[in-house]
Chains A and B, each alone.
Chain A
Amino acid sequence: MGKQMGFLLDLNKCVGCKGCEIACLNEHHFDQVHYRRVIDIVKDKRGLKFLSLACNHCVNPECIRVCPKQCFYKRRDGIVLHRPQHCNGCQSCVAACPFQVPKVNKRTHKVSKCNFCVERIDKGLAPACVDACVVGALQAVDLSEQMELSGQMTLACLPIIKFTRPSLRVILPKEPRCFWRKGR
């Protein structure tokens, strides 16, 4: 019951190749929606530059709260999913999600969102984005378990996480160090 799947993002390793974004697009090409996006943020001298974001499968999902048709639900492993059958495309969830995750599918005019590649998870595989990350910056982890690398829960560019509690952990990049060659 305590299981909560989520993403662990190591910004020391991310080079902004957008491999995760393309892999997501390939996996969900029928939806024609970018569920994962790599955003550019240059904040400080620590070199924080790219942030790969998809649905954070929050512990307290806003989408579940606002959907008038109760289309969203959370599996026992913590993954938040959308049932499109009853969706009327009202877009309440699009407006409410602090991370702007739900997207309108232009073909069906209904909302759809990142599903943590549950079909792959149920087969024992990692999500497509995680599989495609060649530098190993993105990992799918069970946040209820003790992790070796403890990630930070929030970043300044995100809304306050206290109430939605996104299942995203970010390992901030280390301070860059300069090595100068000694003069002759």
Chain B
Amino acid sequence: MPQFCTVQELVTMDPFAQAKVVAGWAGRNNKVHKIVTACPSVAAHALDGVLVLVNMGNSQGDLTRALAAYLNSAAAGIIVNGYGTALSQGLIAAAEKSRMPLLVFPQVIAEQELDGSLTLVLELIKNRKIMSFAEGYRLRQLTNLSQELPILLNQLVEYLQNPAVLVDPAFQLLAEGMTGHFLPAEEMGSLVKTVRPPILKRKQSVPIAAEPYQQLITGFHDQGMNCFVTPLVLAGQLFGYLLVFEAAGPLNALDAGRIGEVGLACLQLLVNRKNTEEVEKKYKQQFLYDLLYNNFESTDELIKRGRYWNWELNKPQHLFVVEPDDFKQLRNKDQVLAGLQLFIEAFLKPHFLQTIITEMQDQIIVIIPATEEKGRSAKQHIKNLANLLQANLQEAAFEATVSFGIGKLHSSAAELCQSFQEAKHALDLGRFIREKGHVTYFGDLGIIRLLSHVSLDQLDEYYQEQLAVIIEYDEKDNMNFLEILQMYFQQNGDLNITAEKLFMHPNTLRYRLKKIEELLDVDLQKLEIRINLSVACKIAKMRKTNL
């Protein structure tokens, strides 16, 4: 029985490695044991396992006729020797259809040299050395790889004859090779979605490594499919995954080698891209710092610099600040902030052409263009947007509750620094008067804005003077009169709602409020008394939160 090699194995060896594969690469696994020079005496039916060598020297018409005859034969492939111009589309289509590799040498190669190479490949296969030999070939190929991700993926898809995609660690598509030949675009999307959970599950259980592995996908069109997963890892950092689906046929060891080398090139490109992004981010951060702290000479300069990033800062902008609650207590601060920023970007980008979202001092700052509305409707618009974002975060079960501070709308970009400070004040002071996960507009802060300017000594003196008796009573008799009073004012003096919030009967609440009136020797129905005690309650809450 004669020794065989595949066309794919043959092209790892020079001079076959120099041949250009024009078409029919789907038949790369066709088996070859002999090279035969084309001539009329060679019968087309006797070409099983033969690589047909068509030497040029004939006219164009002869070549077309000869190739057409061999394309319908049982040959393993065709080599066109010494042909410098492009072959006709009809021949290429026929080679694709019959899955017959069509290799072209631009310069004439001696037939003995080709025979010698075939013998050498057969010998290497016999001694099981072809894979280690192919590594040298792949290294040479690596230098010829494209520096553009889509072209790189196209080259890989052409070589593998199977769909391949490049995704980031969150499985967002970065590039795909002409997958349309094998699968419709929407099916490709659902295939990536299907493969995502098992890969993420494996990532949690196995430490990240650059080793490729095969992942069986079940439940896609009620049948199984293998996915060749190559994690792109550098220095322990995951940059993405190169996914190759065996949609058109199984992959062999040489294919796996090619996937590895393309993965390496993709990784290099992704690392370069990340480095470029880091530099751009640094400049962007510096500009945003200057914008938010008024650190520039003129508004014109600011607007001009903003245009580098396509930001039209000559129009009014809304600004709000987002911060996770109890941020200092969180263990994975960086991850939470990065996740929050990604979530906000994903939420806002489809709705606004221009969004500026950045992280500064452990807070996420969002700047979006204002609508035509002014005054109260503009305020309502931005509050609604923040509430909607808050609701979405809760719905997505984000890992921490987050609070929002919204600055007032100012007419020029130079006043964004004021809006920024207002938003930060609203966020910080909102914590004193509202619960976790609050959305506070600066203009709604009220008396707390004045209280924040008073020294702690004076604040303490005031609230202790007003509430000393009930604080003492609470401590002595283990009661909650201060809490009752705070809730009573927070619910605008509505007895039923206050009772409901405090889980007590309205009559009990009435009795306790009467007791508070007795203790403080005041009448809670008087406006003056209500204001004094309400302010004292706010201070008490502020001091409790602040300390």
* A-to-B contact residues, CB < 8 Å: 1, 59-62, 64-66, 70, 72-76, 96, 98, 154, 156-160, 162-163
In the complex where A70-B414, A163-B428 touch, is A154 in contact with B456 (Cβ < 8 A)?
Answer: yes
> Could you say which residues of chain B place their CB within 8 Å of the CB of A72?
294
> Could you say which residues of chain A place their CB within 8 Å of the CB of B295?
73-76
B194 within 8 A of A: no
A60 touches B425 (CB 8 A): yes
> Could you say which residues of chain B place their CB within 8 Å of the CB of A65?
417-418, 421-422, 425
Which of B209-217, B285-293, B322-330, B371-379 lies at the interface with chain A? B285-293
> Could you say which residues of chain B place their CB within 8 Å of the CB of A96?
453
Q: Is the interface of B mostly helix, strand, loop or mixed?
A: helix
Interface string of B144-182 (1 = CB under 8 A from A): 000000000000000000000000000000000000000
A60 touches B546 (CB 8 A): no
Question: Which one of B289, B421, B422, B424 lies within 8 Å of A76 (CB-CB)?
Answer: B289
A158 to B424, CA, bound (A): 20
**Shortest beta-carbon distance, A116 to chain B, in Å?**
15
Interface string of B265-304 (1 = CB under 8 A from A): 0000000000000000010011001100111100000000
B361 within 8 A of A: yes
B429 within 8 A of A: yes
**Shortest beta-carbon distance, B453 to chain A, in Å?**
5
In the complex where A1-B289, A65-B418, A65-B422 touch, is A73 in contact with B456 (Cβ < 8 A)?
Answer: no
Question: Which one of A70, A73, A75, A162 lies within 8 Å of B546 (CB-CB)?
Answer: A162
B454 touches A159 (CB 8 A): yes
B542 within 8 A of A: yes
Closest to B293 in A: A74
Can you name 7 A-B residue pairings with CB atoms under 8 Å? A65-B418, A65-B421, A73-B294, A73-B296, A74-B293, A74-B295, A76-B295
| Interface residues contributed by chain B, number (CB under 8 Å) | 30
B222 within 8 A of A: no
Question: Which one of B289, B361, B452 lies within 8 Å of A163 (CB-CB)?
Answer: B452
Closest to B449 in A: A163
* B-to-A contact residues, CB < 8 Å: 282, 285-286, 289-290, 293-296, 361, 414-415, 417-418, 421-422, 424-425, 428-429, 452-457, 459-460, 542, 546
A60 touches B424 (CB 8 A): yes
B293 touches A64 (CB 8 A): yes
A160 touches B452 (CB 8 A): yes
Q: Which 5 A-B pairs have the closest CB atoms?
A: A74-B293, A65-B421, A73-B294, A163-B428, A73-B295
B428 touches A162 (CB 8 A): yes
A64 touches B421 (CB 8 A): yes
A159 touches B456 (CB 8 A): yes
**Shortest beta-carbon distance, A3 to chain B, in Å?**
10
**Shortest beta-carbon distance, B189 to chain A, in Å?**
38
A156 touches B421 (CB 8 A): no
Question: Which one of B286, B290, B417, B453 lies within 8 Å of A159 (CB-CB)?
Answer: B453
**New contact pairs (11) apart from A73-B417, A75-B295, CB-CB < 8 Å:** A1-B282, A60-B421, A70-B418, A72-B294, A73-B293, A74-B295, A75-B293, A154-B456, A157-B455, A157-B456, A162-B452
A59 to B427, CA, bound (A): 14
A76 touches B286 (CB 8 A): yes
**Shortest beta-carbon distance, A16 to chain B, in Å?**
20
In the complex where A59-B361, A64-B293, A70-B418 touch, is A163 in contact with B456 (Cβ < 8 A)?
Answer: no
> Could you say which residues of chain A place their CB within 8 Å of the CB of B424?
60, 163
A159 to B452, CA, bound (A): 7
> Could you say which residues of chain A place their CB within 8 Å of the CB of B361?
59
In the complex where A64-B293, A73-B295, A162-B546 touch, is A156 in contact with B425 (Cβ < 8 A)?
Answer: no
**Shortest beta-carbon distance, A46 to chain B, in Å?**
16
**Highest count of chain B CB atoms <10 Å: which of A59, A60, A66, A76:** A60
> Could you say which residues of chain B place their CB within 8 Å of the CB of A159?
452-456
Question: Which one of B282, B417, B422, B429 lies within 8 Å of A70 (CB-CB)?
Answer: B417
**Shortest beta-carbon distance, A165 to chain B, in Å?**
9
In the complex where A70-B414, A156-B457 touch, is A163 in contact with B285 (Cβ < 8 A)?
Answer: no
> Could you say which residues of chain B place their CB within 8 Å of the CB of A66?
418
**Shortest beta-carbon distance, B465 to chain A, in Å?**
16
> Could you say which residues of chain B place their CB within 8 Å of the CB of A1?
282, 285-286, 289
B294 touches A74 (CB 8 A): yes
Closest to A66 in B: B418
A154 to B546, CA, bound (A): 11
**Highest count of chain B CB atoms <10 Å: which of A98, A159, A163:** A163
In the complex where A73-B294, A73-B295, A162-B546 touch, is A61 in contact with B455 (Cβ < 8 A)?
Answer: no
**Shortest beta-carbon distance, A106 to chain B, in Å?**
25
> Could you say which residues of chain B place their CB within 8 Å of the CB of A156?
455-457, 460
A158 touches B286 (CB 8 A): no
Closest to A144 in B: B361
> Could you say which residues of chain B place their CB within 8 Å of the CB of A158?
455-456
A162 to B289, CA, bound (A): 21
A162 to B295, CA, bound (A): 24
